[in-house]
Amino acid sequence: MNNWNSTAALAPGHIDIHAHLLPEDCYDIPAVDGVRSLTERDGELYLGEFPIAVTRDQISGVPRILADMDAEDIAVRVVSAPPYAFAVTAEPDAAGDYARRVNEGLMRMCEKHPDRLIPIGVLPVQDRSATVEEVKRLVAEGVRGVAVPPVVGSLTLGDPELSHVLDSCADAGLAVLVHPTQQPRPGFNHHYLQNLIGNPVESATAIASILLGGTFDRTPALRIAFVHGAGVAPALLGRWDHGWHMRGDVSADSTRPPSETFRNHVYADSLAHSVEAGELLCKTVHPERITLGSDYPFDMADAHPVRSATALGLDQEVLRTNALRWLNLT
């Protein structure tokens, strides 16, 4: 078993819960139509024909991430596979095999630096039994959490058909990081709108389905964090509350208004991209559930996350304590 189970060995200082690494031997990703591969062109990586705006060194280089952490005063990073490595369209057997390989690779990459890098796994979410098996394996290896998509095909994370994902994580005590996958949507064909609008909408969709679906009534111990400042959810909570009070079909599966459950249960990282959005985030998320997040090393990352958190008046020790609580390392 690897040892990511103690705070004693962790470097003191900021903990960034939202950063990415991918083992080089996991560049061939199973998909519904075969395999989608990361390839290198002129020093930049492409997923098929899509430029992902990172280099091999950034997404797969442990020395590089450590050096970049030092430059930004980040002591510890929780690292997860990038969202295109969730393999959500693959056949269950292929997804399960790929998840195991990604998780084993991430553990290998981090095992020499347990004071600086904490890996969290991926799951074959499209298959109930495979998800449960991988959760058990990660727990046995001492892994603290998993990263999962907010939307899988036509299903949202809070839908009954995906209840096995959050239920198995809650039962096992694993932290959950929800990261959008930039799914194609009508009208998002140009100007990177799949990311600029699609990603925060994906996150909010999952949050709404979890709050309104009564997930926290069923699994109150679930520790779940949403990246990118919880997407557009903070701006929509009032609308969701209004619908909950006015319509029986909205409130049918939950016992409390969405904003109340959101504040009492949901973690979010600090990556809001503006002071105004960050201030709204701080008003809607409980102070004990805001964590530092960067989205390293992607183009939509905050290059100076500590500086941005400081501008919002967020305290280093509070952010660190919140991250440790989410990881169940307090």
pLDDT tens digits, one per residue of 62-103: 999 999 999 999 999 999 999 999 999 999 999 999 999 999
Pairing relationship of beta strands 50-51 and 28-31 according to DSSP bridges: unpaired
Give the CA angle between residues 21, 22, 27 to the nearest 5°: 155
Contacting residues for 216 by C-beta, under 8 A, at least 6 apart: 210, 222, 261, 264, 265
Specify whether the CB–CB gap between 106 and 47 falls below 8 A.
Answer: no
Specify whether the CB–CB gap between 270 and 290 falls below 8 A.
Answer: yes
User: Does pLDDT of 133 surpass 80?
Assistant: yes
pLDDT in the model for residue 186: 85
3-state secondary structure 276-325: HHHHHHHHHCCHHHEEECCCECCCCCCCCHHHHHHHCCCCHHHHHHHHHH
Which token pair is 103?
Answer: 């998780």
User: Does pLDDT of 197 surpass 80?
Assistant: yes
Give the fold, CATH level 3, of 14-326: TIM Barrel (3.20.20)
User: Does pLDDT of 182 surpass 90?
Assistant: no
Is 161 or 7 the better-scoring residue by pLDDT? Answer: 161
Specify whether the CB–CB gap between 73 and 306 falls below 8 A.
Answer: yes
Mean pLDDT of 126-144: 95
Among 100, 118, 98, CA closest to 109: 118
The structural domains of the chain, with segments of one domain joined by +, span 14-326
- What b/e sequence results for 221-250 when a residue is b if at least 16 CB atoms lie within 10 Å of its CB, and e otherwise? ebbbbbbbbbbbbbebbeebbebbeeeeeb
User: Does pLDDT of 229 surpass 90?
Assistant: yes
In angstroms, rounded to a whole number, what is the distance separating the alpha carbons of residues 320 and 16? 9
pLDDT in the model for residue 187: 85
CA distance to 230, 265, 268, 311, per residue, from 217 (Å) = 20, 11, 20, 35
Q: How confident is the model at residue 185 (pLDDT cuts 50, 70, 90)?
A: confident
In angstroms, rounded to a whole number, what is the distance separating the alpha carbons of residues 21 and 255? 39
**How high is the mean pLDDT of the chain?**
94
Which token pair is 282?
Answer: 């701080």
Q: How confident is the model at residue 4 (pLDDT cuts 50, 70, 90)?
A: low
pLDDT in the model for residue 5: 66
Mean pLDDT of 320-330: 95
Specify whether the CB–CB gap between 15 and 316 falls below 8 A.
Answer: no
pLDDT in the model for residue 198: 85
pLDDT in the model for residue 237: 97
In angstroms, rounded to a whole number, what is the distance separating the alpha carbons of residues 108 and 25? 12
pLDDT in the model for residue 3: 62
DSSP helix/strand/coil, 200: helix
Mean pLDDT of 236-245: 97
Alpha helices in the chain (DSSP H): 56-60, 62-71, 92-110, 128-140, 163-172, 193-196, 198-212, 215-218, 227-230, 233-246, 248-251, 258-265, 275-284, 305-311, 316-326
Mean pLDDT of 264-285: 95
